[in-house]
Amino acid sequence: MDVRVDPDSSLLLLPSPVTCFSRASYSQIQTFRLAQSSSLLLLDWYTSGRMSHAGGEEWQFSRYRSRNEVWIENKLVAKDVLLLEDDNKAGPVTNGAQETSYLHRVAPYSCYATILLFGPKMAPILGHLRAAFANITQYKQSRPYSMLWSFSELEKGHGGIARCAGDSTEAVKDWIVEVLKDGGIEGLIGADLWKCAFT
């Protein structure tokens, strides 16, 4: 997908998460071309697989690749690439399925999300994420947290990237909804459209 966002326009892309079946090979390339006055909110998220399928298919896909590029005018301001690829030809078998070589890099979480934000209309949510992240206190734990998130500013504070990992799709979805709502996105798109975004 190659999208151009006109000056003084906004694009909010809030899809359902990608959920791959066992041995699937998935690839996506998304390029967004913004003017200086354009705004973008891009949600890119994926799950561990079809858990309701017989026996479950947690982290059983062969390959997942996602590349997102954001250009402002003719300058590349963000390039986010993720590749999970199974290199196991004869790995261990768990629950009747061969364990993937990337499993140790993604477990114990079952859903990951990335939110890319750019432009003047994203200033409120960027400010909200900046303040919320500055107030996080971490403690040493004997077990992994059930949810992790981070935020990094880009383009001298005019853009940013938030990442989240959670032990369930619902937990990550709840975090996304809370962040977007507290960051003023409901007010930006209106109550009626907001109701449709995550149903």
- pLDDT at site 98: 72
pLDDT for position 4: 97
> Residue 129: what pLDDT?
96
Task: Tell me the two tokens of residue 150.
Answer: 């981070």
* Average pLDDT by stretches of 10, the chain with 199 residues: 96 93 92 97 92 72 95 96 84 63 87 97 96 87 89 92 95 95 93 85
**DSSP 8-class letter at 112:** E
Report the run of H or E that residue 2 belongs to, with start and end: strand 2-5
| Structural contact between residues 173 and 110, judged by C-beta atoms closer than 8 angstroms | no
The Cα–Cα gap between 73 and 38 comes to 10
In whole angstroms, what is the distance from residue 24 CA to residue 147 CA? 26
Q: Beta strand 10-13 with 39-47: parallel, antiparallel or unpaired?
A: parallel
Instruction: Give the integer Cα–Cα distance in Å for 111 and 17.
Output: 9
Q: Which residue has the tokens 């301001």?
A: 77
- In 3D space, the residue among 121, 134, 131, 133 whose CA is nearest the CA of residue 185 turns out to be 121
Q: What share of the chain is helix, strand, coil (3-state, %, to 5)?
A: 25, 40, 35
Q: Considering only CA atoms, which of 40, 42, 56 is closest in space to residue 14?
A: 42
Rounded CA gap, 7 and 27, in Å?
A: 30
Query: How many CA atoms, within 13 angstroms, populate the side-chain half-sphere of residue 88?
Result: 19
